[in-house]
Amino acid sequence: MNGNMTFGDFLAFTLYLGFMIAPIVQMSNIGSQLTEAFAGLDRTEDILNTPIEDDLSTRTHSIGEIKGDITFEKVRFAYEEGKNVINDISFDSPNGTVTALVGTSGSGKSTIAGLVASFLNPTSGRVTVDGLDLTTVTLESFRSQLGVVLQNDFLFEGTIRENILFPRPNSSEEQLLKAHRSV
């Protein structure tokens, strides 16, 4: 410091200091990475502990190729007991028609879509597709033919091709192009 340190000595000291500080900084990052990893592990555990939706004792019918006739027969649905979101809704949506659900926020449009997709089951009444009560249809046979477009667009990280192939990664090139054209 009093003229005893050469430029080379100073450079060597700075490099040694950097070599000592870098591992300390990395160790401080490990704590936040562990916290994120444990949060992800908790979410994964929740998913793995989710009960199976397909109740094989009641869902016994396998649905063939869907025509698309949808019927709601006096359907009621409540997220909380005694607080119906949908109350005695009945309507037909025949194959080849467009049915618009119009209403204010919270009026039950998304709930109706969830009932048609069999993500939800009615509290009472029936939702049928091609005459079959959805609560009796195996989810695999129904959902393998189902496409849902949510109001918020979402793409997974990756290419458009990978996003299209996500639900059926073993699809042929022809199936990929058909799915692309139908969007």
Q: Which residue has the tokens 């879509």?
A: 113
Residues 128 and 157 in one domain: no
pTM greater than the 0.75 cutoff: no
Residues 8 and 64 in one domain: no
Closest CA to 62 of 143, 164, 151: 143
User: What is the torsional sign of CA 88, 94, 95, 100?
Assistant: negative
Q: How many domains does the chain have?
A: 3
What are the two backbone dihedrals, phi and then psi, of residue 25, each rounded to the nearest 5 degrees? -65, -40
Provide the token pair at 116: 């048609």
| Cα→Cα distances 65→28, 58, 62, 70, 138, Å | 56, 21, 10, 14, 13
Residues 98 and 127 in one domain: yes
Tens of pLDDT, residues 76-102: 998 888 888 888 999 999 998 888 888
Distance CA 132, CA 116 (A): 12
Q: 31 is in which domain, residue-wise?
A: 1-50
Per-residue pLDDT, averaged over 109-121, amounts to 88
CATH number at residue 93: 3.40.50.300
Residues 69 and 90 in one domain: yes
Residues 66 and 84 in one domain: yes
In this structure, the number of other CB atoms found within 10 A of the CB of residue 123 comes to 15
Residues 137 and 169 in one domain: no
Residues 84 and 143 in one domain: yes
Tens of pLDDT, residues 38-63: 888 888 888 888 777 767 777 778 88
Per-residue pLDDT, averaged over 25-30, amounts to 84
Per-residue pLDDT, averaged over 63-74, amounts to 90
Closest CA to 168 of 150, 138, 145: 145
Residues 57 and 114 in one domain: yes
Residues 45 and 106 in one domain: no
Residue 74's pLDDT is what? 94
Residues 42 and 96 in one domain: no
Residues 138 and 86 in one domain: yes
Residues 145 and 57 in one domain: yes
Q: Tell me which of 3 and 9 has the higher pLDDT.
A: 9
